[in-house]
Amino acid sequence: MERIKESEKYLLELNLGGTAIGNSINASKIYIENVYEELRNITKIKELKPMNNLMSGTSSNTDFCYISSAVNILCLDMSKIATDLRFMSSGPRGGIGEISFIEMQQGSSIMPGKVNPIICETMNQIYFQVDGRNTTIYHAAESSHLELGIMLPAIADSLITMLKIVESGLRLFADRGIRKIVANKKRCFELLGKSTAYSTLLTPVLGYDTISKIVKEALLTGKTLKQIILEKKLMTEAKLEKLLILK
């Protein structure tokens, strides 16, 4: 979001008044000032102002690239989060199953009870759309000829469409995705208990070699680290639980 806020300044500086190629030929200063004043009144945006270099603003459309890039990066992050959540919700029995989403629709016509993470999948697809439009904006900005940004229509259409998609998509992802997540506590503790990852916490207490042997035994026998440690009386249950902060 900070990138988007930072890119906002590029929307507030216009090349309006530069006329054909940015040299303001046939446009008086009074006329230009009056147009900006009227535009500020219409939009209620008092920060609108002319660019310092109107010729550069007329020939180059890279300011729009800053904006589209910031939005694209935001959607990339959201898509990555959506993919992580899909992975965490996989199951309910054959996958991770640490979290669940509310049922937004019938998941399958042949598998009763199947719940698909459609809001997360929607966020993924929004990113794909945004990334494509960001690429369009880059190519259109590069294809401007000499002093004229002739590809601005493609840039404007792609950017406006992108922003509309993102606005509605992020709201949907937040309201019907993120805020509707339910943590499956029992499943989380079950997986944590079976995991060998917390062996790292035990290494300073029992030593690397000892923990390595315990991990190998756990993988071979299907027992948990906790079971083996207690069986071998290497540590009391109270001390072990306190060390692992488990309940």
Q: Which domains does the chain have, with CATH numbers?
A: 1-57 (no CATH), 60-188 (1.20.200.10), 195-244 (1.10.40)
For the stretch 203-210, contacts whose Cβ atoms lie closer than 8 Å and that sit 24 or more positions apart, written own/partner, are 205/235, 205/243, 206/234, 206/235, 210/234
What pLDDT is stored for residue 48 in this prediction? Answer: 84
DSSP letter at 226 equals H
**In 3D, which of 123, 245, 81, 99 has the Cα closest to residue 183?**
99
Helix%, strand%, coil% for the chain, nearest 5:
65, 5, 30
Catalytic residue among 108, 143, 195, 212: 108
Report the alpha-carbon distance of residue 71 to residue 215 in Å, rounded: 45
Q: Please name the residues in contact with 199: beta carbons below 8 A apart, sequence gap of 6 or more.
A: 211, 214, 215, 225
Whole-structure pTM over 0.85, yes or no? no
The number of beta carbons lying within 10 Å of the beta carbon of residue 194 is 14
Q: Give bridge partners of residue 123 from the DSSP assignment.
A: none
What pLDDT is stored for residue 88 in this prediction? Answer: 94
What pLDDT is stored for residue 246 in this prediction? Answer: 53
End-to-end distance of the chain based on CA atoms, in angstroms?
38
Helix, strand or coil for residue 148?
A: strand
Cis-peptide, bond into residue 92, ω within 30° of zero: yes
Structure tokens at 208: 């690397």
Burial label for 15, CB within 10 Å (0-12, 13-18, 19+), is buried
What pLDDT is stored for residue 49 in this prediction? Answer: 86
Q: In tens digits, what is the pLDDT along the chain, a chain of 247 residues? A: 778 878 788 788 888 777 777 777 777 888 888 888 998 999 898 888 888 887 777 778 888 999 999 999 999 999 999 999 999 999 877 888 999 988 877 767 787 777 789 999 999 999 999 999 999 999 999 988 877 778 989 999 999 999 999 999 999 999 999 999 999 999 988 888 889 988 998 999 999 999 999 999 999 999 999 999 999 999 898 888 888 775 4
What pLDDT is stored for residue 119 in this prediction? Answer: 94
| DSSP letters for 22-39 | TS-TT--HHHHHHHHHHH
Q: Based on the residue annotation, tell me whether 108 is a catalytic residue of this protein.
A: yes
